[in-house]
Amino acid sequence: MTEAVTLANATLVLPGEVITGSLHLAGDKIAAIDHGTAVPPGAIDCGRDLVMPGLIELHTDNLEGHIEPRPKVDWPHAAAIIAHDAELASVGITTVFDALRVGSVVSNEKANYGEYARALASEILDLRGRGALRISHYLHLRAETCSETLLDELAKFGPEDRIGIVSLMDHTPGERQFRDVTKLRDYVCGKHGLSQAEFDDHVAGQIALKERLGAAHEAASVAAAARFGAVLASHDDTTADQVAHSARVGVSFAEFPTTLEAARACHAQGIAVMMGAPNLIRGGSHSGNVAAHELAEAGLLDIVSSDYVPSALLSAALLLGDLWGDVARGIATVTAAPARAVGLADRGRIEVGLRADLIRVRRIGGAGAVRGLWVQGQRMG
C-alpha cells in the first residue's frame, strides 16, 4: 500500500496560478491542497521548491539511442528500455508515449530501414507488466506513409497495445520537414554514407513510393488509429492546405509545424500545436524551419515535446514561463496540454482526486533539478 505523503512549504504550480502551500497525497491520488508555509510533523519540507504535475512526453526518440548506442550496435533491449525509463524519470517525466516507427523500406540496399516496432513494443509492454518500469508508458506509432511495409506492420498491433497516438509521417524529399533537399542530403548521406548518385536514386525512389502508396497508406493509418482507440497527429505540416487536410482526416494535434502559416492554420482549425524543446532552447530549428520561440511569441505554441533531448522538456517549460511571465502557463505546455491532447483526464494538473504524479523541482538558473518524483503516490526518485 502507498503511504500518505505531505509535501509542505512548497511553491505549488496549480492550473492558472502558483501558490505557497502543502499537498497531501493519499494512496495514488491527490487528497488535499492547503495554503501557507506550515510544515506538519512527518511532512516533507520542500523549502519553497516548485512542486508541479509530472511531465507528459508525447513524442520522444530517446529509446532509439539506448537500443543502438553506436551505429549497428544492437544493445540488449530489456537493459536499454529500463535505462531509457530511468533517464526519463530522472528529468521529471512521469508519462511517456514511446515513439516507434512503423513502415519500412527494404528494397534500397544502402538507405534501407527495417521493421522493429512490433517486437520492441512487446518488450516494453512485458517490462511494464512485470513492474520493471518507474513511469507510465504508452505507445506512439509513427506511421511512415512513404514506405513499403506499413500495412503489414500496422496489422500486427491491436487495441490491447496501449497505443495512444498514431502520427502521419511523410518524409518525401522536397516536402514538409525536408523542403530543402540539401538538408535531407546532409542527413541521409551522413547517416548511411551515400554518394551523390546513390542519394539521387534514394530521392527518386521515395518520390515514387509516395506517388504509388502514399494515399492508401495514409487512409490505412487513419483507420488504424480508430481501431486502436488512439488520437491522430500530423507531422511537419507546412502549408494551410496541408493543415486543412489534417483537419479533414481527424488530426487533434500537430507535431512540429514547419512554418508560421501552418501554425496559424492549426489554431484556426482547432488543432493544438506541438514544438520541440531543443528548437526552443537552441533558438531555432536544426532543419531550417520555423523557430519555436516565434510561435510562442505569437501565442501559437500549446505543447512542448523533448523530441531527442529528454532533459530539455523541463528547461523549455521554465523558459516559456519566463518568456510569457507566467510560470503556470509555461508548465502547462508539458503537463495539462499534452494530457488534454491525448485524452488523459486523470493527470497533468494538481487537483484533488487526480493521480498523484508529481515532481519537486529546484530552479537553477534556466534549468530545473528534479529533487523528487512520485508516480501514483509512490516515490520513484
Domain ranges of the chain: 1-53+347-381, 55-345
Decide whether 1-53+347-381 matches 55-345 in CATH topology. Answer: no
User: Distance between CA 57 and CA 204 in Å, rounded?
Assistant: 35
Give me the pLDDT at residue 192, please: 59
Confidence label for 41 from pLDDT (cuts 50, 70 and 90): very high
Low-confidence winner among 41-55, 172-186, 246-260 (lowest mean pLDDT): 172-186
What pLDDT, on the 0 to 100 scale, is given for residue 326?
Answer: 98
1 vs 64 pLDDT, higher one: 64
pLDDT band with cut points at 50, 70 and 90 for residue 65: very high
Question: What's the half-sphere exposure (Cβ side, CA atoms, 13 Å) at 126?
Answer: 10
**Phi–psi pair at 296, nearest 5 degrees:** -60, -45
Residue 54 has pLDDT above 60, yes or no: yes
What is the per-residue pLDDT for 3?
Answer: 76
Domain boundaries 1-53+347-381, CATH class: mainly beta
The confidence band for 214, taking pLDDT boundaries of 50, 70 and 90, is: confident
pLDDT of residue 114: 83
Count other Cβ atoms within 10 Å, centred on residue 11.
19
Cα dist from 291 to 107, 111, 113, 193, 281, whole Å:
36, 29, 29, 29, 10
Q: Which of 155-159, 165-169, 186-190 has the lowest mean pLDDT?
A: 186-190
pLDDT at position 106 is 74
Superfamily designation of domain 55-345 = Metal-dependent hydrolases (3.20.20.140)
Mean pLDDT of the chain: 92
Q: Report the pLDDT value the prediction gives residue 212, as an integer from 0 to 100.
A: 78
Confidence tier at 196 by pLDDT (50, 70, 90): confident
Lowest mean pLDDT segment, chosen from 47-61, 119-133, 184-198, 237-251: 184-198
